[in-house]
Amino acid sequence: MTARTLELLFLGTGGAVVSRDRGHPGLLVRYGDTKLLIDCGEGVQRRALRYGESLHDLDAVLVTHHHTDHVAGIPPLVTTLDMLHGRRVRVYGPPVTGEEAVDVSGLDQVEYREVEPGDRLKVGELTVRVHESRHAVPTVSYRLETPRIPGRADPELIEEVPPEERRRVLLEGRRPYSITRPGRLSVYVTGDGRPADPEAVRGCQVLVHEACFLDPEEARRYRHSTPREAAEVAREAGVTLLLLTHLSPKVEEAEALRRAREVFPNALVAAEGMRVRLRR
């Protein structure tokens, strides 16, 4: 993975009830040598192997909340890493409260760090900003940002710049030596809950948003979102791509996509094994 590429690999795209094609949530994020996992439902470790990825070198697991479908894969994952590598796993997440919450923070193999909206974390090379998500238990969303990536050099003109000055010239986007603008890659990943705040998402290239139900009343009742509501956030925030995930088995993919694209045409329904690469 190059320093110009941020990769998302979907390891689980379903809701609390799994289906033949969708398991419990898990999203692997890679940038350079940094690798983190957002949520870890049942079966995520095995699906990573199926798609040619190992979770043995994770920098951290980011938990959006402590419902079973989002954390049930953590005990087997951390047990594997302890048995094979003798290492603990750093897990970030909101407070563990409520009768429905499953507490993984006390596992011997886990180094748990509690987060709240407004926190700013550094995980490897990535900056992670924590935002609120309105759900039945304390839930957060995560905004991930890369460092500032230099512009691409004009291969002939850059030779005019002393080698020790070239990175600074490209980070400044100085013309004519830099033929593309410098900048960051960023993605916003919602936890379960009602639609994200577009202002928190603004400036991201990609929005990964839950779309558990088609019916707006059902979504409100259970504090989830619909594909149309996710699309409205994407449109208002000005992202480039919307990826819908956390679909209930009752939701037909084609209908979810149709409703989202009525509002925001550049939308996709995430499938397990789907890789999305952002590049500068």
Percent of the chain whose predicted confidence (pLDDT) is above 90: 87
Q: Give the DSSP per-residue string, the chain.
A: --TTEEEEEEEE-B-SS--SS--S-EEEEEETTEEEEEEE-TTHHHHHHHTT---TT-SEEE-S---HHHHTTHHHHHHHHHHHH---EEEEE----STT----TT-TTEEEEE--TT-EEEETTEEEEEEEE-SSS-EEEEEEEPPPBPPPB-TTGGGGS-GGGHHHHHHTT-TTTBSS--B--EEEE--SSSPPPHHHHTT-SEEEEE---SSHHHHHHTT---HHHHHHHHHHHT-SEEEEE-B-TTS-HHHHHHHHHHH-SSEEE--TT-EEEEE-
Using one digit for the tens of pLDDT, what is the confidence trace for 187-217? 999 999 999 999 999 999 999 999 999 999 9
pLDDT digit string, tens, across residues 17-59: 999 999 999 999 999 999 999 999 999 999 999 999 999 999 9
User: Which residues are known to be catalytic?
Assistant: 69
pLDDT digits (tens, 9 = 90+) for 132-150: 999 989 999 999 999 999 8
CATH number of 5-147+184-271: 3.60.15.10
What pTM value is reported for the model? 0.94
